[in-house]
Amino acid sequence: MSWVEPPGHLGGLDLSDRCNTPVLADLLEERDLLGYGPLVDGTLTERDTDRVRIAKFIASKPEGTPLTHVVSYALKGVSPETCERVDGSDPDYQFAYRFVDDLAEPDEPYVRKSEQSGVLFVTPTVRLLDLITEGITQTADSEGLTYDREFLRNYLARVDSVDDDLRELLEDDFTSYLNRIEDYRLLFDVVMVDRRGGQSRRRMTKKYKTRFNDEGRVSKQFARFNDALEHGYENADNAVLATFTTDPKQQDSLLDGIESINENFNRLLSYLASDPSTKSDTRTEGTVGWRPDLDGDVTGRPRERLDYIKALEFSEKGYPHLHVLFFDVPTRDEDGMPWLCDKPELAQKWSDYGQGEIVDTYPLVYRDDLDDLDPEFQSDEGFVDWYRFGDHDHGEAWVRNRARAHELIEFDDDGHEMESTAGAYLGKYLSATFGSLLDATESFTEADDQDRESYADKAATWKLALYWVSNRRFWSCSQSITEGIDPHDHTQDPDVRQVVRQWSLDSVRAACESSIRDHLARRSWDDIDDLNAAMERAISNVEQPEVRSTLPGEALFQCVVDYRGTFAYWDLPATEAKRLSG
């Protein structure tokens, strides 16, 4: 949105009600504002649901609202008059206070905090409005905007694979959707009121953006993927690249297979992390490998939660499969090889969940000297075949006997399966996928034309349509990696003005709070609420002009933004207003 925020506050009125909750949850997660984010089945934890509800409620109050009202209405579901007294000892109040602090981060705040007569007020900024409007782009305000998707979902629910006719239908409807939303704009009326009561109006529009047509979001996601790989390089010594397929015979429909694969993967993660102390570990030298008849005696599972990067792909029949790069996998005693789990055990469990029968695992080792090993490598570091490059004493004959072509992953089309890294494979796929959305694969990879041609099928438009129809992500990673690649790293090095803004007032309050509390507590009070109010006033009064003078100036304007609706640009209401493109 090409909009310079005036000093003051603004928010969206009724637009928060039109915001699609799952999409808003994804947007908040991208900005590290959720606790866990959407779970594999698409639902949210209770507290993440509360966070989304708080964001919507604050956005609906452009004039600002007391934090106690946020707690009462958004968390407790009752009016402040009927709600029990809310104070700092209330768990919901503490939760809301911490989340508002997250939203008010000084670099690019989504809300502003202020105190009026000892009451903490929260006011939305233009950035929160922009976040809410992104959620609107996925709602069903117009039947025509969702018809294609619903029609295709119903179609996928009746078939078990993709044929030529369905490919054409997927491509046509997805292309139609992308072309159509390019012509749509979100329309707002903006009212600015100065301190003297003077008003001015203007018209503002924002492009109808989704993850399929927003260049910024596409670029950011690919950058985050590369950050996730770098995190693995820096923190893990080995890895295992695993493939989990889908068996159409075990699914009710193609849509069922697509929607269940992440849920079943999460079940598998729980299985791998569980620790059956009564079962022997097959990694231990001398312990026999897993077999169905030995299931009660041995297991090869890691017995710990592993970090991972996961990419969802579709076969030429539309069957979903996952490529998962697990990091820091336990090793086998006899040779030090990364050992995710006995392959028969892994395959049996994946089949038991009803997803598929084929599971493949490939042990990898991290090397930072690939340019010295083989000129065929396109990078000087990465996770590569453990059989060829791992730390073992076996000769070439042993390597030839053990190493085999990886039929499902296909590291390289020329038969040199071991001369590419796991990250390069996943990166090529994702670069082709994201690049096809922008019609600019070159912006994501420096691979030559032959490489791009090899992966062109992975970026087929009808496959992109499957992500769109099923609302699946292209890739994801474990929570610890998400935290490790914090997208706000730049806030760790703010300038002096930002430091003062972030710490001055809070530091002064924190330093004075205990002494003020002790001083006032020595007095006699008839009502504990009077004591609390006196404390709030005293703490706010310690903010001296010298401190205030180092902060940005006070608000000169109040800005209220009303959402008017979504229109094709040729149908926008004719008014004398300047259009601001998003």
Q: How many CB atoms within 10 Å of residue 11?
A: 26
Compute the average pLDDT of residues 507-535: 79
Crossing angle of helices 422-438 and 461-470, rounded to 10° = 90
pLDDT for the residue numbered 548 = 57
Residue with the bigger pLDDT between 217 and 408: it is: 217
Alpha-carbon torsion 133, 138, 140, 144, what sign?
Answer: positive
State the pLDDT confidence band at 47, using cuts at 50, 70 and 90. confident
pLDDT reading at 294 higher than 50:
yes
List of E strands, 328-434:
359-367, 382-385
DSSP 8-state code for residue 331: B
State how far the Cα of 389 lies from the Cα of 1, in Å rounded to an integer.
50
State how far the Cα of 103 lies from the Cα of 52, in Å rounded to an integer.
12
Q: Rounded to 5 degrees, what are φ and ψ at 229?
A: -65, -45
Query: What is the pLDDT of the chain when averaged over all its residues?
Result: 77
DSSP lists the bridge partners of residue 350 as: none
Residue with the bigger pLDDT between 400 and 521: it is: 521
Residue with the bigger pLDDT between 402 and 442: it is: 402
Q: Whose structure tokens read 């207003």?
A: 577
pLDDT digits (tens, 9 = 90+) for 478-516: 988 988 886 554 444 444 545 554 555 666 667 777 788
State the pLDDT confidence band at 196, using cuts at 50, 70 and 90. low
Closest C-alpha among 560, 579, 577 to residue 569 = 579
Six-digit token pair at 515?
């002494």
CB-based contacts of 326, cutoff 8 Å, min separation 6: 239, 240, 241, 242, 306, 307, 308, 340
How far CA 257 is from CA of 65, 247, 285, 490, in Å, comes to 45, 8, 38, 40
- Highest mean pLDDT: which of 3-12, 208-217, 429-438? 208-217
State the pLDDT confidence band at 535, using cuts at 50, 70 and 90. confident
User: Which helix (H) or strand (E) covers residue 193, if one does?
Assistant: strand 184-194
pLDDT reading at 349 higher than 90:
yes
Q: Rounded to 5 degrees, what are φ and ψ at 386?
A: -65, -35
Compute the average pLDDT of residues 352-369: 89
State how far the Cα of 61 lies from the Cα of 44, in Å rounded to an integer.
24
pLDDT digits (tens, 9 = 90+) for 449-469: 444 444 444 557 888 889 999
Give pTM, 2 decimals. 0.64
State how far the Cα of 499 lies from the Cα of 106, in Å rounded to an integer.
9
pLDDT reading at 410 higher than 50:
no
Q: What percent of the chain has pLDDT over 70?
A: 74
pLDDT for the residue numbered 16 = 59
Closest C-alpha among 338, 360, 337 to residue 347 = 360
Name all domains of the chain by residue range, CATH numbers in brackets: 8-142+186-207+560-571 (1.10.10), 215-484 (no CATH)
Strands 308-314 and 320-327: antiparallel
pLDDT for the residue numbered 94 = 87
Six-digit token pair at 226?
């590369």
Give me the DSSP letters along 558-580: EEEEEEEEEEEGGGS---S----
pLDDT for the residue numbered 237 = 92
pLDDT digits (tens, 9 = 90+) for 50-98: 998 899 888 888 778 888 888 888 888 887 777 666 666 788 888 899 8
CB-based contacts of 253, cutoff 8 Å, min separation 6: 156, 157, 158, 159, 160
Q: What percent of the chain has pLDDT over 90?
A: 24
Give me the DSSP letters along 354-381: TS-S-EEEEEEEEES-HHHH-TT-SSS-
pLDDT for the residue numbered 399 = 75
pLDDT digits (tens, 9 = 90+) for 179-195: 777 778 888 888 877 66
Compute the average pLDDT of residues 539-561: 60
State how far the Cα of 418 lies from the Cα of 365, in Å rounded to an integer.
12
Q: Whose structure tokens read 């006070």?
A: 554
- Whether 51 and 33 have beta carbons less than 8 Å apart is answered as yes
Q: Whose structure tokens read 């997660």?
A: 29
pLDDT reading at 557 higher than 60:
no
pLDDT reading at 139 higher than 50:
no
Q: Is 444 helix (H, G, I), strand (E, B) or coil?
A: coil
Compute the average pLDDT of residues 252-274: 94
Six-digit token pair at 340?
């995710």
pLDDT digits (tens, 9 = 90+) for 369-408: 887 776 667 677 888 888 888 878 878 777 777 665 443 3
Closest C-alpha among 266, 355, 360 to residue 308 = 266
pLDDT reading at 3 higher than 50:
no
Six-digit token pair at 105?
């981060």
